[in-house]
Structure 1
Amino acid sequence: MTADLLNSTNWSAKALAGEWKALSGGQIDVIEPATGQVLAQVALANAQDVQASALLARQAQKSWAAMPYGERAKIFRKAGELLEANRQAFATWIVRETGGIIPKAMFEIDSVVHHCHEAAAMLTQSRGLVLPSVDGVTSLARRVPHGVVGVISPFNFPFLLSSRAVLPALATGNAVVLKPDARTPVSGGVLLALMLEAAGLPKGVLHMLPGAAEAGEALVTDPNVPMISFTGSTAVGRRVGELAGKHLKKVALELGGKNSLIILDDADLEMAICGGSWASWLHQGQICMSAGRHLVHRSLYETYASRMAEKAKALPVGDPHTQPVALGPIITAAQVQRVDRIVQESVRMGARLLAGGTPNGQFYPATVLADVTPEMPVFREEIFGPVVAISAFDSDSQAVALANDSEYGLSAGIHTRDIGRGMALGEQLNVGLLHINDQTVNDDGTMPMGGRGASGNGSRHGGPANWDEFTQWQWTTIRNTAPAYPL
C-alpha cells in the first residue's frame, strides 16, 4: 500500500490526461484563501486538452466496463483503504485550500470512504429486470453505461462532491473526465486522481483536468461525452443545461438553494437554535443546503433572534489551519463583497443587524439579521455566506407560503414536537429534501440528493439514484427461432 499518496507522483503543474503531464492551457496557482499564499501549481486545461482526454476516455471505457466485476470492486475498496491511510494529509489540503475547519475536512474524508465502499457494492447489485413476454421469447431490460461521463464539481466541498459523481460513474462502467473548480483543483481533483490511480484504476479511465469556463463548455459540448454531471450555481447550471440540451446529452444538475428552516410554536427551542446555527454557519454558509431563511413563529421570534445573536458573537473567526476557529475564510474576495452587499442592502431596507455584518479581509463573521421581509435581497438571494436571516410567521399556512416563495426547491427543516403536524406542513413544501426535527444541511451517500426548480432538473446523486443517473435502459429480446413476418 502506498503510504504517502501526495508524494507518490510528481503532480506539480500537471493534470491527469492519460498520464500526469503539463497541458496546453498552461498552469495556475493554488491559493490559500486564509493567507493568500500560493500552495502549489496545477495544469490548466483548455478546449484542446478536453477534446484529447474525451477521446482517450472513450477508447479506455470498453475494456474498463468489460473487466470482471470483482476486480473492479477491489479497486474501490482499495481506494477506501488508501484514503484511510492518508486522511491527515488529505485533510490538511482540504482545510488550507477550501478554508474549512478540520471537522469539515474529516466529514468530507469519511463521506468519500463511504462512497468508495458504496461504489464497490454497486458491482454486485442487480443491473436489470426480466420482463413479461410470450412463449419462446426472453425479454430483458438492463442498465448499460453511457460511455464517458463529464463531471464538473464546485469549490465548497470539492473532494466529496467530485467523488460522489466520479465513483458511481466509474462503478457503473463509464470512463470519466473530471473538471474540478479552478479555485480548489487539488481537493477537487488531484487527491481523488492520486487515490484511484494508486488503487489500480486502469490508465485512461479517469481524466482530471482543472479548468475554467472554456474547459467546462468544451466538456459539455464534446461528442465523446454523452452525459454531464454538474454541481454548482444555478446561473452556470442554466448554461450547462442549455448546451447539453442542444447537443442531446443527459445532464444531472445539482444547483443552488434558498432553504427554509421552520421553527413552529411547539418546537424544542434549544434544539432549534443548535440546528439553526449549524445550518447557516457551517463552512461559512458556503453550502447549497444552508438555511437561507429562518422562519420562526412569532411567539418564539425575539428569543430565537437574541439567542442566535449571542451565539454569533461567541464564534471565533480565523485561519483554520493555524487556529481553533469555528469559521474560516470566504473562498474569494469577490464572494466577500457579494455577501456584504446582500447584508448591507437588506439593513438599508429595514432589517435589524443583531450580530456580525463587518468583513475583515476575506473573513466574514457569523451574522444575524432580524425583521427580514420578502422584498429584501437577504430573503430572496442565495447568500453563500454565514448569515442567519430571521422572519416571523403567525400560522402554519403563512410559514408554508414564505418557504415556497422562491424559485429554488432544495432542502427544508421543520422543528416541532408534533410529528404529524410537521409531516403535514412538510408535504406542502416544494423541496427535494425534507427533515422533520432537523436542520437543512444533511448528507448521506445512500440517499438520493437533489432539488427542484432552480435547485436542479430533478436529477439525483446517491443511493438508488446512481443507477438512474449514470446508466440507461437497454431492452433486449432473445428468441429460440426467428419469427416469420407477413410482409
Structure 2
Amino acid sequence: MGDEAMEERFVNRMSMGKGWIGGWTDLDGGVLAVTEPATGERLAEVGLASAGDVRRAAQLAAEAQPAWAAMPFLKRAAIFRRAAVILEREQQAVADWIVRETGGIRPKAEGEVAAVINHLHEAAAMLTQPRGLILPSDEGTLSYARRVPHGVVGVISPFNFPFLLSSRSLTPALGAGNAVVLKPDPRTPVSGGLLLALLFEAAGLPPNLLQVLPGEAEAGEAVVTDPDITMISFTGSTAVGRRVGELAGRHLKKVALELGGKNSLIVLDDADVDLAVSNGAFASWMHQGQICMSAGRHLVHEKVADAYVERMARKAKSLPVGDPYREAVALGPLITAKQLDRVERIVSESVRAGARLKAGGTARGQCYSPTVLDGVTPSMPAFREEIFGPVVSVTTFASDDEAVRLANDTEYGLSAGILTRSMTRGKAIAERLRVGLVHINDQTVIDDGFMPMGGRGASGNGSRHGGPANWDEFTQWQWVTYRDTPPEYPF
C-alpha cells in the first residue's frame, strides 16, 4: 500500500460518524464531534457507542479470540512488525492528529508515535519468549504451569497521551493472545483508538480481534460489566478508577488501575540549581501538566529555595504558549474549558490562602500560562489536589526527614524525583518514599515502556504495565499435569 493510500486511511476517513466493530460501522449512541482544543474547530465526527454496541463487539471479539491464540506465533509476530513499519512511514500524519486532538506540542506527539513503534516491536518479541515452567513432580508425572490469555481484555484509555496509553495495554494484550475491546476517551477518539484500528487492519490483524468504541460513561460501564470481557485495563482519574474497581470486583474480573498522582520532586540543598530548574520545569509544564506523573509538588530545601523560585519564574516568563499546530510554542491549550476552570480555581484558592504567585496565573482561550507558586503549605489546594495543569508549586523543607514526611503526605503513590549530588543521600530518601516509581537525579515524568509502570494507594491497585509486567497483567497461570496412566485411589 502506497504512502498516499495510507495517508488517506489515517487522515481523511475520520468524518464518517462511525465506530469500529470489525470495521467501520454505525453505532447506536449517535455521533460524537471531535474538536481541536486550541481553536474549537471541529476536526471530525465519530460514532458514539451504546451499551448494546459494547455487547455486540465483545461477543464478536470472544468468538475471534481462540483462533488468534492458536495462530502460529511467528505469523502473529509478523503482524506487529508490519504495523511498526507502517507506523514509521506514516508517523507525520499520526503526529498531526495527536497535536490537533490533544493540544500537545509536536515533540510530545512524535514521542508518542516513537513509543508505540517500540510497543509493537515488544509485542512481537513477547511471542518468542518462554511462557511456562516445568514444576517438580513425582516419577511418571509431568507437571507444568503455562501462561494463557484471559480471552477478551477491555481497555479504557485517557485523553492526555491517547495513542501511547491505548497502545500500552492494547499491544501486549494482543501479543499475549487476547482480543481487545478499546474505549478511548471521548475527547480523543481518533488518536486514542480509531487510528490504531486502521493501523492494525493495514497490518493484517484478523477481523474482530480489535474493536474500538468511542463512548461516554454508559459505554465504559458496559465494557467493565460485559460477560465476555474478562479483564479490564483502565488508565484515568482516581475518582473514575474507584468506580471501575468496584464494578470489576462485583463481576469478579481482574482489573489493572493506573490512576492519578500528586508527585514530589525533591530538591536537596546540594543540588545544582540550574539543572534542578530544568528538571522541575519539564516535570510540571510538559503537556501543560496534564500527566499523571507530573510534579505536583516541588519540595525544595530552604537553603536553595529562593534561587530555585527566582530562576523558575524567569523560565516561566520566557516560554511561548499557544496553538501547537500552527505556532512554535512550548505549551499548548488545556484539553477543555472545564479543566482550565479547575486549574484557575486551585491557583486562586491557594493564593488567597497565602501562596505567592511568582509567574503566570493567566489564561488566553484554553491556554494557561506556566505558573509558579511559592510559599505553598500542606493546607493549600495546590499541595493537596492533583492540578493537571502547568503549575509549579513550591514548598520548602529544612531536613531530609521533613522532605520525606511532606512527600508521603498524600493518598497518592505514583512517582517521585530526587535531585542531589550525593547518591547515598538520594538512595536513603528514595527507600522511604511510598511510590511505585522513584528517580534519583531525574524528574518525575519518565516512562520508557520497558519497565513495570504503575502506582500505589490512590495512584493504582499495584498493577503494572510494561516489560516483564505485561505477562503478569495480560495472562493467567494454568497448571497442567500429565500421566501415562491414571493413578488408583483408595475409594
Structure 2 residue 481 is the aligned partner of structure 1 residue 477:
yes
Instruction: For 1:282, give the aligned amino acid.
Output: M
Mapped partners of 2:195, 2:230: distance in 1: 25
CA offsets 1:58-113 (integer angstroms, 9 cap, x no match): 00000011110000000000000000010110010000000000000000000000
Deviation of 1:265 after TM superposition, in Å, equals 0.8
User: How much does 1:6 deviate?
Assistant: 4.5
One of 17, 26, 29 as aligned partner of 1:25: 29
Deviations 1:296-326 (A, max 9, x none): 0000000000110000011100000000000
The answer to whether structure 1 residue 333 and structure 2 residue 343 are counterparts is no
Contact 1:2 1:198 in 2 (8 A): no
Structural mapping, 1:257-406, within 5 Å: 257-406=261-410
Counterpart residue type for residue 8 of structure 2: N
The structural deviation recorded for 1:269 is 1.4
Q: CA offset at residue 32 of structure 1?
A: 0.2
Match of 1:174 among 174, 178, 189: 178
TM-fit CA distance, 1:480: 1.4
CA deviations on 1:318-376 (whole Å, 9 max, x unpaired) are 00000000000000000000000000000000000000011122110000000000000
Query: Which among 450, 454, 459 is matched to residue 455 of structure 1?
Result: 459
Q: Which of 231, 246, 254 is the aligned partner of 1:242?
A: 246
- Structure 1 Cα separation of the partners of residues 8 and 457 of structure 2: 43
Distance in structure 1 (CA, Å) of the matches to 2:81 and 2:98? 22
CA distance in 2, matches of 1:181, 1:221: 18
Residue 34 of structure 2 aligns with an amino acid whose one-letter code is: V
Check if 1:225 corresponds to 2:229.
yes
Letter aligned with residue 52 of structure 2: Q
Q: Paired residues, what number? A: 487
1:107-138 CA-partner distances (Å, limit 9, x unpaired): 00000000000000000000010011111111
Measured after TM superposition, the shift of residue 191 of structure 1 is: 1.0
Q: Give the 3-state SS of the residue equivalent to 2:439 in structure 1.
A: strand
Aligned match of 2:6:
5
SS class of match (2:181): strand
Q: Does 1:94 align with 2:98?
A: yes
Given that residues 414 and 439 in structure 1 are in contact (C-alpha distance below 8 angstroms), is that contact kept between their aligned partners in structure 2? yes
Match of 2:169 in 1: 165
- Cα deviation for residue 18 of structure 1 reads 1.8
Gaps of 5+ in 2: none
Give 1:180 deviation, angstroms. Answer: 0.2
Match of 2:430 in 1: 426
For 2:20 and 2:200, how far apart are their aligned partners in 1?
11
TM-score, with structure 2 as normaliser: 0.98
RMSD: 0.8
Alignment partners' CA distance in 1, 2:189 and 2:398? 47
Aligned to 1:80: 84
Pair 2,456 (structure 1): closer, same or farther in 2 beyond 3 Å: farther
Instruction: Tell me the percent identity.
Output: 68
Q: Tell me by how many angstroms 1:447 deviates.
A: 0.3
TM-score between both structures, scaled by the size of structure 1: 0.99
Task: Give me the whole-angstrom Cα distance separating, in 2, the residues matched to 1:313 and 1:395.
Answer: 31
* One-letter identity of the residue aligned with 1:122: M
Query: Which aligned pairs between 1:126-205 and structure 2 lie closer than 5 A?
Result: 126-205=130-209
